[in-house]
Structure 1
Amino acid sequence: MSASRIHLVRHGEVHNPSRVLYGRIPGFRLSTLGERMAGAAALALQDEHAPVARLIASPLQRTQESAAPVAKAFGLEVETDERLIEPTNHFEGLVMKRAVRDPRNWFALRNPRLPSWGERYTSISSRMMAAVTDAWDTTPEGEVVLVSHQLPIWMVHSTVTGTPFPHDPRKRRCALSSITTLERRGDSFVEVAYRDPAAGLATAATDVGAV
């Protein structure tokens, strides 16, 4: 036996008054609004009567905090998987609108198809799909929630849908506290649902932590 579904949940809004690209920088926690967003994702899974049997999160603070409402809702411990982490990024700690105008950073923008500013798309896809597959194979029954970040989740989406990895980051369909759901069919994973339970909160949110 194995899991029946995998839910990829993105973290909620981060407290980021300086509007920097925070990447893997430690200490970036959820904002008060982000906590409400994370709660909305947990409530959505509860309302769907999802038989969530396991909860795994990226090691970063914002994902661990976003996993907390799910843990409480389903009586689970939060496991940690390093493979779910945010990618490395040259622009960590910088305000993107200013950084891209600085000639000292232009070398990092030389090849957006890789991308040249951080971890390669192929690497992100490989580690994320390995984490998804392991979660599926090692969970005897029920559904698994993986709490991760926008680009890693988008790379899973691109992989299972056969969409090219290079893309415009502004056009990712992966909102704060959104839920992307996968099922296994034969030898492959397929995306079967996408929900945005925190959409009603998003108009007041700031989302500048990823590129």
Structure 2
Amino acid sequence: MPADQIHLVRHGEVENPEGVLYGRIEGFGLSTLGHRMAKASADFLRAEAAPVRALVASPLQRTQESAAPWAADFGLEVQTDERLIEPTNKYEGRRGDFKKSLVRPAEWPWIVNPLKPSWGEAYVSIAARMLAAVDSAWRSVDDGDVVLVSHQLPIWMVHRSLLGQRLFHDPRRRRCTLSSITTLARRGDAFVEVDYREPARALQSTAVDTGAV
């Protein structure tokens, strides 16, 4: 039998004092609070005695660091899957104000199609690679659960895909907080979302959640 459940876990708060859109830029690891958030998330499932059999993370520093307490709690090695990575974005390194592109003709092609979006990896591409990673994780174990540590937009694309919603959306309305856990299960030939929890909710009030694409 394949896995029982797949847990999509977002990374914790990132050390980002300049408030830049960090995307895939190297060197953006967790803040002190972010490490606490990641541990709260791992401890939450450990307290439930979740049968986690495998742990996979995006290759970026913040997700690898967020996976560390899971590895410690469940005695697992952190595997890496490139399909879980943050999408590309032409605004990386900036303090993210898309409106400035309106007065920069060279950047007009970036904003010509927000439905795609034209400034980065297409939503359909993100959803496809994430769902492929979920399927691989499901098949990778004989029983129990698998934890996938990823990023807000990729996890949100899975959520909207499984609900049959259009992928274009208002980023301000994403329900995917830092160190949250979105849980999937297989029902027949398809995956369905069965739970969403925020183990680090008590830490959210002082967290800064900027820099995600």
TM-score relative to the length of structure 1: 0.97
Report the CA distance between 1:49 and its aligned residue. Answer: 1.3
Indicate the SS of the match to 1:70: helix
SS in 1 for 2:184: strand
Give yes or no for contact 1:3–1:139 (8 Å, CA) kept in 2: yes
What letter is aligned with 2:100? Answer: R
SS in structure 1 at match of 2:19? coil
Specify the alignment match of 2:111 in structure 1. 109
In structure 1, runs of 5+ residues without a counterpart are: none
Q: How many residues align?
A: 210
Shift of 1:163: 1.2
Shift of 1:100: 2.8
Partner of 1:176, secondary structure, is coil
Match of 1:93 in 2: 93
The one of 172, 187, 196 aligned to 2:198:
196
**Structure 2: unaligned runs, 5 residues or longer:** none
Give the CA deviation at 1:29.
0.4
Post-superposition offset of 1:158: 0.8
Runs of 4+ residues over 6 Å off in structure 1: none
Question: Matches of 2:38 and 2:14 in 1, distance apart?
Answer: 11
Contact 1:109–1:117 (CA<8 Å) still a contact in 2?
yes
Give the C-alpha shift of residue 131 in structure 1: 0.3
Q: Name the % identity.
A: 64
Query: Is it true that 1:141 corresponds to 2:140 in the alignment?
Result: no
85-94 vs 109-118, greater mean Cα deviation: 109-118
Report what 2:9 is aligned to. 9
Give yes or no for contact 1:100–1:106 (8 Å, CA) kept in 2.
Answer: no
Partner amino acid for 1:81?
Answer: D
Tell me how far apart the structure 2 counterparts of residues 101 and 155 of structure 1 sit (CA, whole Å): 26
Normalised to the residue count of structure 2, the TM-score between the two structures is 0.96
Deviation at 1:106, TM superposition (A): 4.1
User: Aligned ranges for residues 1-211 of structure 1 at < 5 Å?
Assistant: 1-97=1-97, 99-102=98-101, 103-104=103-104, 105-211=107-213
Give, in whole Å, the separation in 1 of the partners of 2:205 and 2:150. 22
Can you list the C-alpha shifts for 1:179-207, whole angstroms capped at 9, x where unaligned?
00000000000000000111111111111
